[in-house]
Amino acid sequence: MADASQEFAAAWRLFERSQSLRLAEDTLESEWTRGRSEYAAFLVRITDAGACACIERTIAAIAGIPGVDPYPEPYWHATVKGVGFVVDEPSREDELSPARLAAMVNEARPLIEATPSFELRLGLPSAFAEVVIMEVLDVGAIRSLNIRLLEALPGVQRNPFDGAMFLPHVSIARFRSQEGLGELKETLSRLRASPPPEASFQVREVQLISAHLSAAAPTFGLVEAYGLGEG
């Protein structure tokens, strides 16, 4: 499976043409204010020193733009598969019970642990309507795992962007206002034209986490860590 370079290029062109941003209060995080306080997901944490330094350089360039709200380092990750909101009495398609989450811990184990470790390379900075991102180039490894988890886990949340359309990335900032859209486009365009040295690392672990709302950004609690096979 090839890297998603062309898809990321298309996503950037779409952002360049955008006339508005989707603000933080209108994104997934706002759901926590509607009676749901916990969200589970499989993800890859970004802790490699070189990758973190690359993200820090991009954040330094955009942090002063009006309306741009950078995520703190503990939040940096590449989502593999969102699982859903954990609630005592599920009533919506995007909800599951604590017991169902506990069952998924073991259901996912053979699939994830049979997945070979893989190289994750941070690509260019970019943006979607909701967030500023770093592109993730991994020869399709995360997308493949997303598809296999969809197939293997009964009742797991199914999003429109899952499966063949899944585009792995690292969210590095969200938006609090529309004020800085023009400046953000200009700054990201400049960064994309003169990118920093590439940062890459070997992914040897996927985590299942439980995310909780905090004042700055959702904070993660570890549910389970899965070691990947030899790549």
Q: Please, which residues bridge with residue 220 across strands?
A: 211
Amino acid at 192: R
Query: pLDDT tens-digit profile of 179-228?
Result: 999 999 999 999 999 877 779 999 999 999 999 865 568 899 999 999 99
3 state SS of 226? strand
Checking DSSP bridges between strand 205-212 and strand 77-86, what pairing results, if any? unpaired
DSSP state, residue 229: B
pLDDT the model gives residue 37: 82
pLDDT higher than threshold 80 for residue 31: no
Quote the tokens at residue 27.
């994104």
Mean pLDDT confidence for 112-129: 97
In the chain, % of residues over pLDDT 90: 80
CA distance 178 to 48: 32
pLDDT higher than threshold 60 for residue 1: no
Choosing among 3.90.1140.10, 3.40.50.300, 1.20.1250.20, 3.40.50.620, the CATH entry for 5-227 is 3.90.1140.10
